[in-house]
Amino acid sequence: MPTLTIEYQTDAERLILEQALAFVTQMRQVAAAAPDGTVVAACEQLALADGRQLVRDTLASAVQGRADATDAQKKRPARAAKGGSRAGC
């Protein structure tokens, strides 16, 4: 069986990736279990319910990541510019 290695930056990103993989697995299970003639409808129903939630979670994670990065940047002390001139030289 083939394997996949995924690199992620944060635990939030890892969680979203795991949710996306679970969604794909669930979609395949729904498609396999649906009676003939109902596969598309069953998959669409899953996409509308769980797919929307996955998109919401991904959006929330991206926005929270940006907010966290902005907060961290604001909390850093200002650094002096490099190569500044010395007085009296």
Write down the domain spans for the chain.
Answer: 9-50
Q: Exposure pattern of 58-89 as b/e (b: 16+ CB <10 Å)?
A: beebeeeeeeeeeeeeeeeeeeeeeeeeeeee
Q: Along the 89 residues of the chain, how does pLDDT read in single tens digits? A: 899 899 998 898 999 999 999 999 999 999 999 999 999 999 999 999 999 999 999 999 999 989 988 888 888 776 665 655 555 55
